[in-house]
Amino acid sequence: MADELPIKKLTPEELEREWYENVYQGDSMPQLTMRSVIMGSILGAVLSLQNLYVGLKTGWGLGVAITSCILSFTIWKSLRKAFPRWVKTDMSILENNAMQSTASSAGYSTGGTIVSAISAYLLVNGVHIGYGLLSAWIFFLAVLGVTMAIPMKRQMINIERLKFPSGIAAAETLKSLHGVGHDGGESKSASLLFKFGGVGIAIAAVRDLFGWLPALYNTFGSRMAMYTVQFDASMILVGAGALMGMRVCVSILIGALINWVFLAPAMMDRQVIAHPLPYIRSTQDLQFPLTMPAGHALGFEIEMAKGDYLIEDGSEKSKLVYTWPQATTYQSLPELAKALNSPRTADGSTNPFFGNVRVMEPEDAYLRKRLEMRVDSALKGALYAETSLTILDSIPGAAAAGSILSLKSGASNTQSPGGFRNIVSWSLWGGAACMVTSGLLAFIFEWRTALRAFSGLKSIFRRNKRSEDEDPLERIEVPGTWFAGGMIIGTIGIVGLASVYFNVPWWMALLAVFLSFFLALVACRACGETDTTPVGAMGKITQLTFGAIAPKQMNTNLMSACITAGVADSASDLLTDLKSGYVLGANARKQFLAQFAGIFIGTAVTVPAFFLVVPDVSILGSTKFPAPAAQVWASVARLLSNGLESLHPTARAALVIGGIVGLLIPMCERLFPKYQKWIPSAMGLGLAFVLPFYNALSMFIGGVIALVYGKLRPALAEQYTVASASGIIAGESLMGIFITLLGALGMV
């Protein structure tokens, strides 16, 4: 292995030649082949859907390199057995390495900003970025990211030999799969990955497709369910907890208990947290003028949420009826909606709708079309029918008796008193402050890393062009001309899009790209030394910078920070892959091309999937997709735009307290390193304030399972825990997003 080569006092050129003579094998076997790119594209496309689903649920992105390595190796072995006449050879170890580069690029680097900055844009503006515009934005960001990593590779990997632990782990996985240091464990890992993947698929199908299992259980009572203190039927977060480690999981549970069990009820009692009324919208073209004869009525019924919808006074009301005492004619739907929303009925009596539901007009043609599809399903007896406004007696000239005229309300557990969406609008301020300040301070504490990154600039750019005889790496390393070309194309694309479509002044967009190089430089070094890419910190630095340069401009703030985060994410991902190739003796130029190929399939799959899974802003912040990363990005943008005075006094206090806690925890970790495992994780505590309690509980359960298994089977735990957890996350998330896409297309 390259990292085991004795590091003597050699010149950079001697170090590189030593690696070339002892490790390089890129000319002895296939590497960048059509089948490796196709397999990587297919697996990357599938795993990009996994990361989209998991990212919208948890705000976390899962590396796909090891999973794709195991899947590719197993699939190709199976194809050889099933079709020996057509599939005559296995993939070489370097082909599989190129494959995982394509899969990693498609499945991770192109979608990271979608679940954070792009989703935050939707939260702030209420409308999607256009499909073509978003595709171009994601593509050019990825181009900038992978090309910015080019000049860093030789210095950080060849000369300094930074660890990039995830890259080494992927290389070791490939070695094991291909019989280098074979111990038989790889077959068990692959078996567990597929078995637990099947379990995840079954859970999602039984729960989401057939409706045989409820998504949530009121294990702790219906009253606590108002504050999301429930048990989740999903296993995705259990698997995520097994991968996170016990310290983070315990921190998340502590934060969840503080927020959802103690603070949320207290804020509800003091009426600090509001609970908006459920609403209904017309989904058919009613015939106006509409006459309601005397004695005829409209009835409102919550079909799915009986016993769960709690109105302001705490009572359960699943049925409401409004009877007209005298014939009344309405010239338009707004006029009818106004009457149904008035405190008094036509005869002066109390309107039962008032204060209980809110009747609204249609939004747009697309939403009406989607809701009409749900009306058809509801009339066929589908289990997921939501709310209906029904004519109890026939109306001449209108619809028939009993037909559904209006359908749609916010999901019951987001609109009833308490509920995730209502509470998180208050609690996210403390949680976001904790995560932002801790991330920035931890970044500042690593100033030596930043200093080393900048001190290497001279070495990065002062490399004299030499012949291949003098430097054999000249023919296998990525040439500087590719860096220049990628930077020009990416910069023109990003600056043009930002200035034309997002109203960011061209010089600000250019400044964001310029800053991105230096911040990506630091992020890549941090990833190489600690295996952690501080993408959140990079984004917040840019948000704060542009908050000062362009105050009260949320879109400028968000999109400039999106540039930094996207570039840092893609650059560190490429260097991690290149580290894997360096350990295996791969041709870096070919591996770069494999990763570049993944940008196209990643963009082509992730963007349309995002539009289908998140058709409108109401999906984000729901119990199904809490989108915690987007919530934090959006909250920082709003705060910088609106100022502290826009927050409730208790939210301001939470902001200060969360920020102080976020500063104290990294300080304690530095002062008491021996006791670090007993100090809560600041990111875990902060995350608990933007995730439902049942998500935190699932993560804790996963952490406990991994801990117990590690105690009972320490020799097997690390290898098999990762395979089992990754399998169940992949299986359930892929089946979940498949069902979601079918629903968006009106097929279920």
In a 13 Å sphere around the CA of 315, the CA atoms on its Cβ side amount to 7
Q: Are 54 and 159 in the same domain?
A: yes
Alpha helices (runs of H) in 59-130, residue ranges in sequence order: 65-82, 93-104, 119-125
Q: Are 428 and 347 in the same domain?
A: no
Q: Give the pairing of strands 404-406 and 328-330.
A: unpaired
| Nearest Cα to Cα of residue 718 among 41, 176, 10, 115 | 176
Q: What percent of the chain has pLDDT over 90?
A: 15
pLDDT at 534: 61
In-domain check, residue 90: yes
Q: Are 409 and 447 in the same domain?
A: no
Rounded Cα distance, 516 and 310, in Å: 48
| Nearest Cα to Cα of residue 265 among 311, 316, 223, 219 | 223
Q: How confident is the model over 20-40, as pLDDT tens digits? A: 778 888 778 889 999 999 999
Q: Are the C-beta atoms of 705 and 238 separated by less than 8 Å?
A: yes
Provide CB contacts within 8 A for 257, sequence distance 6+: none
Q: Are 404 and 432 in the same domain?
A: no
Q: By three-state DSSP, how is residue 266 classified?
A: helix
Q: For residue 664, how far is the Cα from the chain centroid? A: 28
In-domain check, residue 137: yes
In a 13 Å sphere around the CA of 270, the CA atoms on its Cβ side amount to 11
In-domain check, residue 224: no
Can you read off the two tokens belonging to residue 42? 């297919």
In-domain check, residue 541: yes
Q: How confident is the model over 182-202, as pLDDT tens digits? A: 444 556 777 787 888 889 899
- DSSP assignment of 139-173 equals HHHHHHHHHHTHHHHIIIIIIS----HHHHHHHHH
Q: How confident is the model over 390-433, as pLDDT tens digits? A: 433 333 333 333 333 332 333 333 334 566 777 887 888 888 88
Q: Are 116 and 132 in the same domain?
A: yes
Q: Are 585 and 661 in the same domain?
A: yes
Q: Are 79 and 202 in the same domain?
A: yes
Q: How confident is the model over 256-300, as pLDDT tens digits? A: 999 999 998 888 878 787 655 555 554 445 567 777 777 776 665
In-domain check, residue 578: yes
Q: Are the C-beta atoms of 681 and 251 separated by less than 8 Å?
A: yes
CA distances from 195 to 73, 238, 373, 456, 712 (A): 16, 16, 36, 46, 21
Q: How confident is the model over 595-647, as pLDDT tens digits? A: 899 999 989 999 999 998 888 887 887 777 888 888 888 888 888 887 777 77
Q: How confident is the model over 553-575, as pLDDT tens digits? A: 888 888 888 888 888 888 888 88
DSSP letter assigned to residue 127: S
In-domain check, residue 262: no
Q: Are 364 and 457 in the same domain?
A: no
Task: Count the Cβ atoms, other than its own, within 10 Å of residue 62.
Answer: 22
What are the φ and ψ backbone dihedral angles of 304, each rounded to 5 degrees?
Answer: -85, -30
β strands within 335-487, DSSP E: 358-360, 387-391, 404-406
Q: Is the pLDDT of residue 319 over 80?
A: no
Q: Are 632 and 714 in the same domain?
A: yes
Handedness of CA 536, 537, 538, 540 (dihedral sign): positive
Residue that is last in its domain, among 355, 384, 415 = 415
User: Once rounded to an integer, what is the mean pLDDT over residues 332-360?
Assistant: 72
Q: Are 106 and 130 in the same domain?
A: yes
Q: By three-state DSSP, how is residue 665 classified?
A: helix
CA angle centred on 677, ends 675 and 683, rounded to 5°: 120
pLDDT at 19: 83
Q: Are 579 and 715 in the same domain?
A: yes
Q: Are the C-beta atoms of 371 and 284 separated by less than 8 Å?
A: no
User: How many domains are there within the chain?
Assistant: 2
Query: Domain containing 312: what range?
Result: 279-415
Rounded Cα distance, 268 and 201, in Å: 38
Residue that is last in its domain, among 383, 415, 447 = 415
Can you read off the two tokens belonging to residue 607? 């963007």
Q: Are the C-beta atoms of 682 and 436 separated by less than 8 Å?
A: no
User: Is residue 552 left, alpha or beta, with left meaning phi > 0 and alpha meaning psi from -120 to 50?
Assistant: left
Top-ranked range on mean pLDDT: pick from 318-327, 680-689, 715-724: 680-689
Q: Are 346 and 441 in the same domain?
A: no
| Nearest Cα to Cα of residue 325 among 344, 305, 303, 341 | 344
In-domain check, residue 244: no
In-domain check, residue 340: yes
